[in-house]
Structure 1
Amino acid sequence: MLTKMWLVSQPNSVILEIKVDPNAIGQECLEKVCEKLEIGAEADYFGLRVCPGSGPGRWLNLRNPLDPHRIPGGRLDLRVKFWVPPHLLINEPTRHQFYLHAKLDLTEGRLVVADLEVARRIVAYIAQAETGDCTPEMPPTHIYEECNKIGPQGEKPEDHVDKIIEYHCEITGMRASQAEYRLLKEISKLESFGEELFFCKPVTPQNNAHNLYSHLLYHRQQAEEPRARDEPEIDGGATVGCLATGQSVGGCGCRLSTCVGVGPHGIVVYRPACNGEQDIGVEKQSIPYTAIHRAQPARRIFQMSYVTSEGNEATLHVKMATSGQAAALYRAVTEKHAFYCCETVRTDVTEQFIRDLKGTIASIFKDSTTLGRRYVFDIRRTCREVHDRARRAAHRTAPRAAPPAAPPAAPPARVGHEKTRSRSSSSSSSSGGGGEALACRVCMDEPIDSLFLPCRHVVCCGQCAPRCNRCPLCRGEIEKLMHIFLPMEYQKNPGLIVK
C-alpha cells in the first residue's frame, strides 16, 4: 500500500518520521505522533503547525486532507495549541511536551518574564531538569547562557548568575519531572500565558512577540482602555510604532505594529503609542469572551462586535496584512472560546466549512456532496472534556489491586454460629467490594475524605480536593471543603491506601 512520509519536529528539534495514507487527514497524522510519544489521551491539547520559509506560521486544520503543495518540504511542527495549568495534565509525557514548548518560548523570547527573581527560579528549574543537581564548583553555565533571554533584558546585576546557582542548589534532589512541573506552574501565573499573537504587519526581528512584551516592560505606564475607540477601523498595516511619523527624536525607537492577542480569557488589542510628548508605551484594550457578540473575517479585515464595560455596543475592525491572517485570527478566537469557555463544542462550529471551485460546481447538482469541502475549524473537545477523557483513560489503564487470598477452610460449626459467620462474611465482602467505589475519583489511589460544599458530594481525597475549582461530579462551584472520617471497616479495607 502506498504511504506518504511526513517529518514532524518536536520543540527540542527531535524529528519523527510519520507514515500515513496519501489521502489521510491531519488528525490521523497527529494521532500517530501522539501514539509514539504516549500522549494520545491528551492529544487535543496539541496541534501541527506549518512553518514556511517566509511569513508567519499557521495551524494545520486537522479535519482536512494533508496537502503536500501547502506544506513546504513535508515538515510539520508539533506544538501546544491550547495551554492549561500543569495540575490539569494527567500524564507525565504530556507535561514533558508542555515543558519542551515552554522552554522553547522562554529561550526564544516569545514568553517574557517581568520579575527577575521569578526568571532566576525558572532558569534553575530548567537547569535541574536538563542537567540534574548543581555542583557549585562546576555549575551548568551553558544552560544559564542558553536562557539569557528569560527575564528583563538589559544589563544584569553582578550577582545574577550567583543567585541562579543559589536557587539551583536549593532544589538539589528534585526529579526532572518535578522541576518541569514547577516551571509550568511558574509560567501559568504569567499574564501572557497561553496567548497567541497576530501581528497586523509581517513578523520581523523588530516586530515580534519578544519586542512587544519587552516594550510593555520598558514603558511602566500603560493605558488600559476597555472602552470603544473613536477610530472606526484600526489599520494595523499603517501603524509601526513611535517612529511611524518619520520623527527623528522622541519615543523609544520601536518598530512594532498593532497586534491582537488571543488567550484563554479573551482577546487583547495592543497598539503602540510612543511619542516624544506622551510616552505611554503600548495601549491595551482587553475584551473578554463573555462580552463578544459576533466575529467574522471580511477579506483582510477582522470584524467583531462586543459590549463595553459601560454596557454600550461597540465594533472592532482590524485590518490585517493578508486575508489569510484575518481568517487565522477568526479561527483562533472561535476555537479558544469553545475550548476554554464552553461545556461542549457546538455543531455550528464543527460543521462549518467552505468549498473550492470543484466542490462549488458539484454542489449545484448535489448539495450534500463532500467533494472539495474544507472545514474551517478542527476543534473536537473542550478543556473539561479533554481532562475527563484523560482521567478515565488513566483509570482504565491503572493496575488493579489483587484480590485478598481466601481464608483456609474451617471445620464444621454448630448451626447457631453459622448464621453469625455468614453475616460477618457478607458484611466483609460488601466492604471489600466497595474499596474501588471509595477511591478518589481524580487520582484513583487515595480514599475519599473531603466533602464539597454546597453540593455535598464526597468524591475526592485530601490531596486532590484543594486542586478542584468545581465538583468533578456535578460541576458546581466549590465554596468550602470539609474533612470527613470514614467508618473503621472501610479504612481497614485492603483495596485502599489509608494515609
Structure 2
Amino acid sequence: MWLISQPNSVILEVKADPNSIGQECLEKVCEKLEIGAESDYFGLRVNSGSGPGRWLNLRNPLDPHRIPGGRLDLRVKFWVPPHLLINEPTRHQFYLHAKLDLTEGRLVVADWEVARRIIAYIAQAETGDCDPDVPPMHIYEECDKIGPQGEKPEDHIEKIIDYHCEIAGMRESQAEYRVLKEISNLESFGEELFFCKSVNETNNAHNLYNHLLYHRPQAEEPRARESDQEIDGGATVGCLASGQTGSGCGCRLSTCVGVGPHGIVVYRPACNGEQEIGVEKQSIPYTAIHRAQPLRRFFQLSYVTADGHEAPLHVKMAKAGQAAALYRAVTEKHAFYCCETVRSDVTEQFIRDLKGTIASIFNDSSTLGRRYVFDIRRTCREVHDRARRAAHALAHAHAHAHAHEPRPRRRSSAGNEHKEFRSRSRSGGGETLACRVCMDNAMDTVFLPCRHVVCCGECAPRCNRCPLCRSEIENSMHIFLPVEYQKMNNSIMVK
C-alpha cells in the first residue's frame, strides 16, 4: 500500500504489486483523478523530511527501503501554460500545486498589483463571490507570502477585497485558470532550483528570489567571468548577515542552479557592504549547451558563449546525489520542452548495481540490477497531441452513443414542423451535420479561438467550453455552410 499526497493534503491509497514500477503507481493515481491522458506532466516525489525531496524514477521498481513510510507526493514535474492543458481536472491539479508554491514561497511575485489579483482569484476559486462586509480573511492570511518581500502597503487588504468584488460571478474553473495564467508570466515559472548547500530557513527559493528582487534596482552589468568557471558550493557565500561589519540585506544564500523550460540559470549572490551585487545570475539556453555530465559531487557543463567560444562550467554540489539529480533535470527538461521526440540514447541510458555488474560480465544483455537514469517518455508536443486526440475520441464516442439513442417522435404544431423540416434539410436528411448537443438543429456556429464547429445557434450560448476540446470559449460566430455540404446520399430535400 502506497500513500500518495496531493498538493491540497488529500491522501490517496494505491495498491501496487511488490515488483511493480513507479509508472504503474502514477497511472493508478491519475486514473482516480481523471488526468490519465495528461499524466506525463506529473511525477511522484519522495519527501525526505528536510529539503525539497527527490523525484522518483518511474521506470524503476518501487523500493520501500528508499521511500520513508511508503509516502509519496503527487506534484507537477513539467509546467506548461494553461492554454495547453486539455482537461479540466488537469488544470485543477496544476492550480493546487501553483497555490502551494505561492503560499510556501517557491513562486515569488514581484509586483503588488499582480499579487493582489492572484490572491483575489484564489479567494474566488475557494469561497466564491466576496461579501464586502464579511470577506474571506482566512484565505487572505493563507496567501500572506504572495508578493514582494518587505512591509505591505496599508491598503493591501482593501485592494484585494476590491479586486475580489470586481470578479463576482466568475466560475471556480475560470478563477483557477486566471491564477495559472498569472503565474505563467513569472520569470521563475517552471524552474526547479538545485542549491549547492542544504536547504534551510535562510537558504531557500523564497529568500533567493526575494534577494534578486531586492537587488535588482541596484544591480549593474555582471562582472566579466573567467573562461574556466568552477563554483564551490561548499564555500561561504551570500550577503553579509546581520551582526557582521558592513551593511547587507542579511540573507545567507548559497549558489544554486535553476533548470527551467528554456535553459539553466546559475544564481550567485555576492553582495558587498554597499549592497552592490557582483554577479546576479547567468543564463545558459539549451541551444548553447554542448555537453553535460555529473562526476561525483561536480556537475560539469560545456556551453557556447555569445562570442562563439566554448566555455566550461563546473558546479560543486554538497552531495554526489545532488549532482546526479541536476544532470537528470537538465536532460529531461531539455527533451520535454525542446525536442520533437525523446531520443533512444536518453530512454536506454541505465546503470547497474553490484549484482547486475557481476552478471553483465557473463551476459551483457542481462537486465539484473538495471536501473534507468531517465524516466521521460514523451515531449511537450507529444503529450498535448495525445491528450487532444483522447479528448476528441471521447467526444466522438459520446456523440455517437447519443445519436443512436431512440428518441420518441414529438407531435408538433405547423410552426414546429417547419422548424424540424428546416433542420433536417440543413443536415441533408441525416445527422452528419447535426448539433452535437441537441442532435436536432444543424451545426451553424463556430467557437473561438479553437474554431470548432459542433453546435447550433441555440445550444452555443449555453456552452462555456468547447464540447470537443474543452478549451474556454471567448467568442462565437454564426457561419453559413455551402450547399454541397448539405447533401446526404446524393440528394437534397426541397420543400
Query: TM-score scaled by structure 1?
Result: 0.82
Q: Is the 8 A contact 2:130 2:161 kept in 1?
A: yes
Q: Is the 8 A contact 1:226 1:309 kept in 2?
A: no
1:4-403 superposed matches below 5 A: 5-220=1-216, 221-223=218-220, 225=222, 228-230=225-227, 232-243=229-240, 247-277=244-274, 279-280=276-277, 283-398=280-395, 399-400=398-399, 403=403
Residue 485 of structure 1: CA displacement?
A: 6.7
SS in 1 for 2:14: strand
Q: Is the 8 A contact 1:226 1:287 kept in 2?
A: no
Alpha carbons of structure 1 residues 403 and 104: separation in structure 2 relative to 1, 3 Å: closer
SS in 1 for 2:257: strand
Number of equivalences: 446
Whole-angstrom CA distance in 2 between matches of 1:207 and 1:67: 30
2:453 is aligned with 1:446: yes
Residue 428 of structure 1: CA displacement?
A: 3.5
Q: Is the 8 A contact 1:226 1:285 kept in 2?
A: no
2:488 is aligned with 1:489: no
- Structure 1: gaps spanning 5 or more residues: 409-423, 449-460, 468-482, 495-499
> Structure 2: which amino acid aligns with 1:13?
S
SS in 2 for 1:264: coil
Residue 142 of structure 1: CA displacement?
A: 0.6
Whole-angstrom CA distance in 2 between matches of 1:400 and 1:441: 21
Whole-angstrom CA distance in 1 between matches of 2:433 and 2:135: 54
> Structure 2: which amino acid aligns with 1:251?
G
Residue 56 of structure 1: CA displacement?
A: 4.0
SS in 2 for 1:361: helix
> Structure 1: which amino acid aligns with 2:124?
Q
Whole-angstrom CA distance in 1 between matches of 2:486 and 2:223: 58
Alpha carbons of structure 1 residues 165 and 277: separation in structure 2 relative to 1, 3 Å: closer
Residue 343 of structure 1: CA displacement?
A: 0.2
Query: TM-score scaled by structure 2?
Result: 0.83
> Structure 2: which amino acid aligns with 1:60?
L
- Structure 2: gaps spanning 5 or more residues: 410-423, 437-442, 456-467, 489-495
Whole-angstrom CA distance in 1 between matches of 2:108 and 2:42: 22
Aligned to 2:415: none
1:458-497 superposed matches below 5 A: 487-489=481-483
Residue 432 of structure 1: CA displacement?
A: 3.7
Alpha carbons of structure 1 residues 245 and 369: separation in structure 2 relative to 1, 3 Å: farther
Alpha carbons of structure 1 residues 319 and 104: separation in structure 2 relative to 1, 3 Å: same
> Structure 1: which amino acid aligns with 2:231?
I
SS in 1 for 2:393: helix
SS in 2 for 1:214: helix
Q: Is the 8 A contact 1:395 1:444 kept in 2?
A: no
Between the aligned residues of both structures, percent identity stands at 77
Whole-angstrom CA distance in 1 between matches of 2:106 and 2:196: 17
Cα RMSD for the two superposed structures:
3.3
Q: Is the 8 A contact 1:300 1:324 kept in 2?
A: yes
